[in-house]
Structure 1
Amino acid sequence: MKMRGLVIRDVSVRSSQQPSNEDVDHESQQEIGQSSTVNPSNAPNPVVPLPVRATRGASKYSFIWNLPENHKIELPLTSSNQPIKKAGRNFTGWLGTIARKPQLCPIKYKNWTRMPDEFKEEIWDIVQSKWIFPEEPARLEAIKNRTLSLIAKSWRNYKSTLKKKYFLGSGNRARVPPNVILEDYEALVQYWSLPKTKDLALENKNSRSKQTNVHTGGSKNFASYAEEMVTTLGHPVDRADVYVKLHRHKDGTPVNTIAESNISSDLTGSIAWAPDDVYAQVFGNERNGRVRGVGFGPTPSMHPAKSTPAIAQVRSQERDAEVTQLKNQVASLTEKMSRYENMEERMTQLMQLVQNQQNQQNHSSEASRGGFSLDQQSPTPYRSQASSHQETNI
């Protein structure tokens, strides 16, 4: 069965209890205080509310939540376990709906590490009930960790949106956001109100303002773009190629002056996201935990082609050791062959000697059968004629 470009299979699995869309995606207008945004009629300069642009709101991905029982969606993955194609985009977007469900991801916790493990296990059970993953244990565990990391990222972004819209927004601070539990929101507001939290938020805001590496990829991840480029070009691409593609507008112009400067550099790296490739020469060394320019997921320790100078030196030494070992093996084989040849020559001589002895024995046998035997010869020694005429003393 196909739905919106997805391949859905009927599988026999035990369906875990899943939250209903109607239970959590309703609008609530609870109030925890009274606030007024209407100016009195006698105000000298009445405030005219600005028109609000109509939007469709966050996607609910109801077609995934409402899948029939024992039906799952095939999820295409790269060798690095990154979701790709249309199904991959739906998978990532659907994970965002999990992050916004209050009974699955309560917002009252300070960070994702403090989220109880039972919530995470329940989330993973729901994800496995909707999607088909590889069965290899090691790969499945890696996909689980990455999936929970994606949900954690969406969860943090969701709380940031709530803070910007309701906690910091003019006139909305006393309003409880829709689809949010009152007690959870109050706990979150208390945390946002702490002086150390405000200082940390200001520091993060300043750091974020310095980021200039924006791209035009949209919601599609880098792995999907790379997969499309490989299909079109017919050969593997490295992150420098992906960078050029995702940092230009449709008309070909760079997104900003920083990207223009980077693209004009010699971004023709020959080793995909190696720590010492051309991309790294332009942007600097990699940081722990992720690799820039390849999308969410891959880390430096995962890549087989990483080549820092120290690693290159170690690998050079390993190659030299292997060459030396091979040379020793060749020398040993050559010595054994030489010994074998000498042994073969000796065996030939021995066989010749045995053949000669056999010939002599055969000759002796033939002479015996002809009436002439060495045993019948007189044992009397040969005497000269002079001795034969001498008298014998009696």
Structure 2
Amino acid sequence: MDRGRRSTALIVAGILLVVGTVAVGAATAPETSVDDGSQQRTLVGSQGGDTGWHADGSVYMLTGSEISWRIDDADSYFDVTQLPDGRVMAGFMHSGYQEGCAPYDPPCTKTGFRIIDPDAEGGPETIEEYAFPVRYATNSETHDVERLDSGEYLLSDMEHERIFTVRDGEVTWQWNASSFYDAPPDPTRRDWLHINDVDAVNETHYLVSVRNANQLVLVERGAGVVEVVNEDDGGSDDSCTVRDSQLKDFDGDGEIRCGDPSVLDHQHNPQWLGPDAVLVADSDNDRVVELHKVDGEWEPAWTLSRAGSVPLHWPRDADRLDNGNTLVTDTLNKRVFEVTPNGTVVWSRQTPDDTPIAYEAERLPEGERVGAQRYTADGDVEEASGGVPGLSLLLVSLQSVAPWTPFWFAELHLGLTLVGVVTVVAGGVDRLRELRR
């Protein structure tokens, strides 16, 4: 075969491989929409849909599988909760503020929570806001807020790595993670712990998700940490620090406090089911896990790694419902679904194309409650197949840059596409060399 025919063959083969990969992947993609015909209401907070997931955020209500209302007035929304009066409370992040930016220069980014009136004249609108400025728009947000019986609001804070309460805009109490974890000189300059959730277990105890440490801590107001889920072994092994630039041995004592990533790995949104049981979206393990405390150790008792023939991909919320099922926000598969204890999907809804990166969902009217049905400790419902080595991180990076990437576009599709692109490039280079002769 002469050089011209060879280069043409390479280009054509590469194009066919890319087109064929996409066409076959789309044609064989499993169905992820399941509607039982009921009119249950599901409230969803969406982080966004633009590059980096920090634009096009929204809060919307699903009635059955239809969007009944939606508001998209912030770059990102996170945790969402319906208040007793029907208004909605949501953690948020938004850029472009011109006032109240100190110590940072305007325009600045702020985070905090908003109160949304879905029944306002003219459509849903934000009627109240508590916000404070942050150094960066990424990894500095308030992902969670709860309204306490005392009238205070309880917030998580990645900017200063703390949880705190406010009333009438004033901080009334706070717990700083630096009192328990080895802290850098300035937490606002790095994604240190990434505290992404706080739930009131009772009037004095708060469950906190310390994402980068792979741990949950139970903080008693006025006393500090009284329980650690996925506690480290006290040794100097830092194998639990699976990501560079997050946890480090800042004080040089040879120890880093973090938990076993095989138990929890960069988790989100734990739900306290009751004494010695917690349900967690175990995000970087691509599963939902229920942990039980047995003989003083927290162990996986039930896990969900696949639903509706689709392996979970970076789930960030799981709520045990009053009917005994579990509601899951499967972020990078761009879906929210309800599953029975044995893994059967009874309802599933794809997220909207223009705001696909959902953070959290709540089934109404109950929402996420402290104290819910525990599952029997009987192991995995279904184990997911592993990804292609070396491509998982690249796929996540692609989805960050292009959130519209189809949910079914997995490591295998990415690998074949890359082979096709390389083949086309090789053919093009070969053709250029022939033309220059």
Structure 1 length-normalised TM: 0.22
Higher helix proportion (structure 1 or 2) = 1
Higher strand proportion (structure 1 or 2) = 2
Structure 2 length-normalised TM: 0.21
**Which of the two has higher C-alpha Rg?**
1
Structure with greater contact order relative to length (CA < 8 Å, sep ≥ 6): 2
